[in-house]
Chains A and B, each alone.
Chain A
Amino acid sequence: MFSQTDFSNDIEQLLVESAVRYLSDNYDFHNHYQNIKSGNPVNRDTWLTMADLGWLAVPCDEAYGGLSGSYSEMLSLLTVQAEYLVLEPMASQWLTAILIQELGDEQQKETFLPGIVNGSVRCALALYDEGYDYQTNHTLIANHGDGTATTKGVKSFVTDTQDLTHILLLASDLARGDATWLLLPADEPGLSVNHYAGADDRPMGNVQIEIPNLKLDTCLLDSGNSRECTQHIFNLAFAFNCADSLGCINKLLEATSQYLKDRNQFGQPLAEFQALQHKLADMYIAHQRATSMASMLTESLATSDRANHDYLLSLAHIQIHDAARFVAEAAVQLHGGIGVTEELNVGHFAKRLMCNAHRYGDRNFHLNRCNQKFTR
């Protein structure tokens, strides 16, 4: 058997172990289920605790109170939080922080990064118009040339929309014809969010933008190579999403093997039935495939050559989410009736995986991206 976790260094190990400790003491399934049922899936106090524990600081530069953590640390922590079905939006905050660091000017960094570190800035990424093609963007900015612009569009399936202070908007600049990022206050007049819940209970929303005279100086993030950065942010989003899915797969395997030992039918534990042993073995094989892909993407992100990321991250998405679906369905099946109820965590992991498989591109999108490598 492979060991469960492979840490790249001591800091990462400390971080992950403290996360496991905190989450297993404070974030059991029962609490999670109660939060969902109360209609407040994301808890403010938990969020601030996560800030206190330093989790939100991981990607931020030390100069702004951050930890200057590595991608490897981020991915490990994301895998752990998914194992507890955490809905507090760490990944969205991190992506925001990374984007601000890459594209923001000094003033913007000073304004926003400390707020991200201490949890007071809450930001969702409004990326997709429809479908997954972020390169054809219908949310437009028409620059008036006097420091203001008209901005108009609709963003759908925006993730993590609860308690927002800001919205990070991906738009197209009419004049430049290029991807442009705007960091808008959530209460900006002309901005409205229609909230709904994802199948995994994640707060989601569609964002409508109709701002005739937007002052660009504070909100426009364009102090870097925006095209390259956009691509990088999406690749990171894919990677973070994969790490989250790996956490769900870990837990489904663990829960199912435990259940086979605990549940008796025909006077013996289910674990005695060879048909089920083989299914469990197949789950393990799929799980290992996903784990290996996660190692691959961790290593790929650590190497600086961003040109290869598109292909490799799409491979990871496809492999991890194929494994995810197999493991999720097998876990439900091996639990029998209890597996299809909301009262057990298994179904929640299965739905989270279903959503992750469609959040940042689906199988078709990622196949297509890989395909381009051959047809170009």
Chain B
Amino acid sequence: MSLVLDERELAFQQEVREFLQHNLTEEILHESLATSGVFPDKELALAWQQKLAAKGWAAPLWPEQYGGINWTQKQKYIFEVESAKAGAPLTIPLGLKMVGPVIIKYGSEQQKQRFLPRILSGEDYWCQGYSEPGSGSDLASLKCKAELVDGHYLVNGSKIWTTHAHFANWIFCLVRTSKEKKPQQGISFLLIPMDTPGISVKPITSISGQHDLNEVFFEDVKVPQENLVGEPGQGWTYAKYLLELERGAGAASARLRANLIRVTRLCQQKSMNSTQDSYFESLYVNRLIELDAAITALEYTELRAQKHYENGCESGAESSLLKTEATEIEQQLARLAVELLGPEAMVLKREKLSDSHWPIPKFQDSYWAVPRYLNSLAASIYGGTNEIQRNLIARTILTRS
């Protein structure tokens, strides 16, 4: 795949641009630019998802028969790039990009009929119950167990770092259904309604002051047997499929480039305020260029990965590479933004600052930078830490014949 577009692709690009122009209202754009967390706010994401769904574009990863679209890899890429450039919010991946594809690939027909339309419409809001207090990087050691009792699974245990569990009405969980020789065996993929008696959710506040994360407790939670996806004991396979989707899908470089533009703007604003602007700029311009180089390399790595997948190759080290690169560039950008802020970098919660007492012009971009930096520290931890990704990359290289 290359960045060069043929006529049909150009027409598609135009269609996407027009869609964005009409649907990305001032209000949505404003909210989207203010997003500093891992995911956009629930309301914002759902509002945007509805607009996409109305056009039939909410689920580019799904086959047409379930409400997806028959886009080529290139079209998906163009869509992601244009959305990022325009500053459109991301949709919440938990349903559309995570549990949805697993149900499509491994779920029963009945599960597909039941769950997929409700993901598309935003009626169901999902969260991901993988990690546990004792099982993070070593996910396969998970202990939350589900025993089959009278046609029901009885679930006991707890999950942690569950993003948006406080919004979700469903959780997809990895649970232990049997004890086998290898820890990866005996894990199953179970879908659980959050309003089932015995489930409780405890909030966890992040260092950015935001509430995205939660701890979820299960005490004798009864789940119908039909909520198991695929085969019992095969959950690890499904989980790995999903983790790779989480790590490597999409066009992170386009989002990063949009961020680079914001940081560049911040740099320009700060230079204008600075008494020694040429000095200030010379200090930072080179760093912006270095970041642009890194983003450009990532962009072409993404294109090469797409081609690799199109040729039917498995995603392995590639998704780890993309995840590591994207998150570390994101952190460098966030770091630079904070560095540019000057004394404003000391303030995280701005609601108490009334305009009249704020002598410094209030840049949207400086509002965003501090929480963005703090949240970006999590990017090399979630979805499998970057140390774990490096382990995987090294293993792949060293075992290659």
Which A positions have Cβ atoms within 8 angstroms of B? 128-133, 136, 154, 156-157, 194-200, 204, 206, 208, 264-267, 273, 275-276, 325, 329, 332-333, 336-337, 339-343, 347-348, 350-351, 354-355, 357-359, 362-364, 367-368, 371
Contacts and interface: CB of A to CB of B under 8 A. Distances in A.
A196 B381 contact: no
B352 A130 contact: no
Nearest to A207: B357
14 contacts: A131-B274, A131-B343, A132-B342, A136-B275, A157-B344, A197-B348, A198-B346, A200-B346, A276-B387, A333-B387, A336-B385, A350-B207, A354-B346, A358-B343
Contact of B206 (A199, A200, A340): A340
A154 B354 CA distance: 14
Given A332-B377, A362-B345, A194 B354 contact: yes
A336 B137 contact: yes
B119 interface: no
A131 B272 CA distance: 12
A199 B346 contact: yes
B360 interface: yes
Given A206-B357, A265-B138, A195 B387 contact: no
A300 B275 CA distance: 29
Contacts of A343: 204-205
A340 B357 contact: no
Interface of B: 131, 134-138, 141, 160-161, 204-207, 209, 213, 273-276, 279-280, 283, 331, 335, 338-339, 341-350, 352-354, 357-360, 370, 373-375, 377-378, 380-382, 385-387, 390-391
Given A131-B274, A156-B359, A340 B378 contact: yes
A339 B381 contact: yes
Given A199-B370, A341-B207, A204 B347 contact: yes
B205 A341 contact: yes
A367 B274 CA distance: 14
A216 B324 CA distance: 61
**Which 6 A-B pairs give the minimum distances between C-beta atoms?**
A347-B207, A194-B357, A199-B348, A358-B345, A265-B138, A157-B343
Given A157-B343, A336-B136, A359-B343, A130 B359 contact: yes
Given A131-B342, A194-B354, A354-B338, A333 B380 contact: yes
A363 to B, nearest CB: 6
Contacts of A133: 275
B279 A368 contact: yes
Contacts of A157: 343-344, 346-347
Contacts of A362: 339, 342-343, 345
B204 A341 contact: yes
A367 B213 CA distance: 39
B1 to A, nearest CB: 33
A200 B378 CA distance: 18
B398 to A, nearest CB: 15
Nearest to B136: A336
Given A154-B357, A337-B378, 16 more contacts: A131-B343, A132-B342, A194-B353, A196-B352, A197-B352, A198-B347, A199-B347, A204-B346, A265-B135, A265-B141, A275-B387, A337-B131, A341-B205, A341-B207, A350-B207, A354-B345
A60 B378 CA distance: 45
Contacts of B206: 340-342
A197 B136 contact: no
A186 to B, nearest CB: 16
Contact of B359 (A198, A206, A273, A350): A206
Contact of A196 (B137, B279, B347, B391): B347
B345 A333 contact: no
| Interface hub of A132, A329, A340 (most chain B Cβ within 10 A) | A340
Interface of B: prevailing SS: mixed
Nearest to B210: A342
Contacts of A371: 279
Contacts of B283: 364, 367
B275 A341 contact: no
Contacts of A364: 280, 283, 339, 342
A336 B317 CA distance: 22
B353 A196 contact: yes
A241 to B, nearest CB: 12
A370 to B, nearest CB: 12
Contacts of A357: 345
Contacts of B141: 265-267
Nearest to A208: B357
Contacts of A264: 134
Contacts of B380: 333
A159 to B, nearest CB: 8
B346 A355 contact: yes
B34 to A, nearest CB: 17
Contacts of A208: 357
A266 B137 contact: yes
Contacts of B207: 332, 340-342, 347-348, 350-351
B359 A129 contact: yes
Given A266-B137, A333-B381, A337-B131, A206 B345 contact: no
A275 B384 CA distance: 15
A351 B370 CA distance: 10
Contacts of B347: 157, 196, 198-199, 204
Contacts of B160: 337
Nearest to A128: B343
A300 B119 CA distance: 65
B343 A197 contact: no
A328 to B, nearest CB: 9
B273 A131 contact: yes
Contacts of A128: 343
| Interface hub of B279, B347, B357, B377 (most chain A Cβ within 10 A) | B357
